[in-house]
Amino acid sequence: MRLVLKYGGTSISSAKDIQDVANYINLLSKHNEIVIVCSAISGITDDLIEISQSIKKENKLKAEQLAAKIISRHILLANQIIKKPTIRKKLLEKLNTDFLELNSLIEGMVLLGEVTPRSLDYLISFGERLSIKLISFSINDIGKNSISLTGKEVGIVTDSNFGESNPLMDTTRLRISKTIDLQFFKKIIPVVGGFTGADQYGHVTTFGRGGSDYTATIIGSCIKADEIWLMSDIDGLMTADPKIVKNAKLLKEVSYIEATEMALFGAKQIHPRTFEPLIAKKIPMKIRNSFNLKNEGTLVTHSPSLSSKNTVKCVSHIRHNGLIDIRGGTMVGTPGTAAKIFATLAKSGINVMMISQNPSESSITIVVKNTDLDKAVNALEMELLGKIIKKLEVTTDVAIIALIGSGMRGTVGVASKVFGAIEKKKVNVAMITQGSSELNLAFVVKDSDSNTAVQALHDAFELDKIN
Ligand code: ASP
Ligand code: MG
């Protein structure tokens, strides 16, 4: 089989983890063609972002301290992982070239005293530049040929939307298939850095946080992989957060659309665009635990088998949000009201998580993160209060509860079962939305009620018996 295995940062955070990965890849490569995609070592991307914040605050010392911390962590890992002195020496030389470039970049940014989206992408790309070398050399150390490639080197070409770039798929496909086919032909295992690519001028770009998942599926679709495996530190997608619901179960099979919804809401964070490259080619994905390889994980496919077509597959929740009820007499029948409200919020960089408007048009209710609430209310008051808005009513600390499952589509009685179960627990519902896809039913309760609501729904739909 042709496989793309993507390792998240927590799966490669110690010397032992990396050696285990190398040994596993060694075994797997005996019968399969493998491309590895990896994230930065856990915590490194956060450190790099903190460096950029220190530069903005003109705190040169802090930026240098953080860089020194990143460098010493990688040197320590290199020394712990690699047993053969010649290979270790080569690895340290390669890492050192990156360290010099990282330090010069930081020095340059400090001198300029500014962080642009372009320089930020360049800076945060170092996490993956370093991790691929540790992994590739540890495979070399056990006697297998391997090469490390950054997103740019493997051939990922993107637009110049720094921080949130999009791959130019046709060019990317041509370049990646050429690069990877050559490595396969030479029996070399490519280790590709996730998260980054380069625009047509060669400037490094990133796909946004968690973007390595997306890199894995881009590569998988370009080389016509048979499967993509996302390796992390959890067993797969679950029926609910096991920290809240003790009898939560692992989901054996879900569809691409269900997985996309679960990625947005669920405990396992997956980059939102991850499934796009797989859909057209119907490439299956497995979400697996690198620390529990006996477990097959969750299979994400185009068409899950009949037995797994439950009405509801998962109850997830997002806590710590705020609800704003926007009211105003002149809102009724006035075209453009919603546009003004959302344009105002967008201008302040606020992400709106849920929206509902009742048919009488006298109010629009939105949900934003608690941390955005202040900014949102302020922007709406400054721009629109007394004009189209008469009154804002704010509720802090609310949770969004979402039920996900494509079997809900066209099934009568789901809503009554949901709200019946909630009513029995005497939990008040502040807002409800269901998209016309009927794939996701979401509602809002008080944060303090969220665990009760999640458990009640998990019980009502008997999700502990799902498989
Ligand atoms: N290292 C990047 C991040 O932490 C990308 C990834 O992990 O997928 O966001
Ligand atoms: Mg990650």
Ligand 2 centroid to residue 240 C-alpha, Å: 21
Of 13, 7, 57, 54, nearest to 28 by C-alpha is: 7
Token reading at 109: 């940014």
Of 310, 314, 312, nearest to 240 by C-alpha is: 314
Same domain, 180 and 47: yes
Helices 212-222/169-185 angle, 10° precision: 70
Same domain, 119 and 210: yes
Query: What average pLDDT does range 386-405 have in this prediction?
Result: 92
Beta bridge partners of 368: 322
Ligand 2 centroid to residue 263 C-alpha, Å: 13
Residue whose Cα lies nearest atom 6 of ligand 1: it is: 210
pLDDT at 466: 85
- Tens digit of pLDDT for each residue in 140-198? 999 999 999 999 999 999 999 999 999 999 999 999 999 999 999 999 999 999 999 99
pLDDT at 99: 98
- CA separation for the pair 49, 53 (Å, rounded): 6
Residue 243 lies in a domain: no
Residue 403 lies in a domain: yes
Ligand 1 centroid to residue 195 C-alpha, Å: 6
pLDDT at 304: 80
Residue 452 lies in a domain: yes
DSSP character at residue 196: E
Residue 355 lies in a domain: yes
Q: What is the percent of the chain where pLDDT is above 90?
A: 82
Q: Is 39 in the pocket of ligand 1 (CB under 6 A)?
A: yes
- Find the ligand nearest to 232 CA: 2
Report the number of distinct structural domains present in the chain.
2
Atom of ligand 1 nearest to the CA of 208: 9
Of 399, 413, 397, nearest to 241 by C-alpha is: 399
- CA separation for the pair 137, 123 (Å, rounded): 23
Backbone angles phi, psi at 440, to 5 degrees: -145, 120
Of 7, 41, 192, 195, best ligand 1 pocket probe by most atoms within 8 Å of the beta carbon = 195
Q: What is the CATH number of the domain that holds 355?
A: 3.30.2130.10
pLDDT at 368: 95
What's the CA angle centered on 213, arms 207 and 219, to 5 degrees? 90
Ligand 1 centroid to residue 207 C-alpha, Å: 9
Report the mean per-residue pLDDT for the chain: 93
Q: What is the CATH number of the domain that holds 221?
A: 3.40.1160.10
- CA separation for the pair 99, 96 (Å, rounded): 5
- Where among 213, 233, 253 does a domain terminate? 233
Residue 147 lies in a domain: yes
Q: DSSP string of 393-452? A: EEEEEEEEEEEE-GGGTT-TTHHHHHHHHHHHTTPPP-EEEE-TT-SEEEEEEEGGGHHH
Same domain, 62 and 203: yes
Contact between 129 and 174 under an 8 Å Cβ cutoff? The reply is no
Q: What letter represents residue 202's amino acid?
A: G
Ligand 1 centroid to residue 38 C-alpha, Å: 9
DSSP character at residue 35: E
Count other Cβ atoms within 10 Å, centred on residue 95. Answer: 20
> Model confidence at 412, in pLDDT bands (50, 70, 90)?
confident
- Where among 233, 252, 285 does a domain terminate? 233
Query: What average pLDDT does range 206-231 have in this prediction?
Result: 97
Contact between 389 and 327 under an 8 Å Cβ cutoff? The reply is yes
- Where among 196, 218, 233 does a domain terminate? 233
- Tens digit of pLDDT for each residue in 317-361? 999 999 999 998 677 777 788 899 999 999 998 989 999 988 877
Integer angstrom CA distances of residue 160 from 168, 199, 254, 260? 10, 5, 34, 25
> Model confidence at 445, in pLDDT bands (50, 70, 90)?
very high
Backbone angles phi, psi at 289, to 5 degrees: -100, 120
Of 5, 212, 274, best ligand 1 pocket probe by most atoms within 8 Å of the beta carbon = 212
Q: What letter represents residue 385's amino acid?
A: L
Atom of ligand 1 nearest to the CA of 8: 7
Q: Is 365 in the pocket of ligand 1 (CB under 6 A)?
A: no
Ligand 1 centroid to residue 336 C-alpha, Å: 39
pLDDT at 266: 67
Token reading at 436: 């016309």
Q: Which domain holds residue 134?
A: 2-233
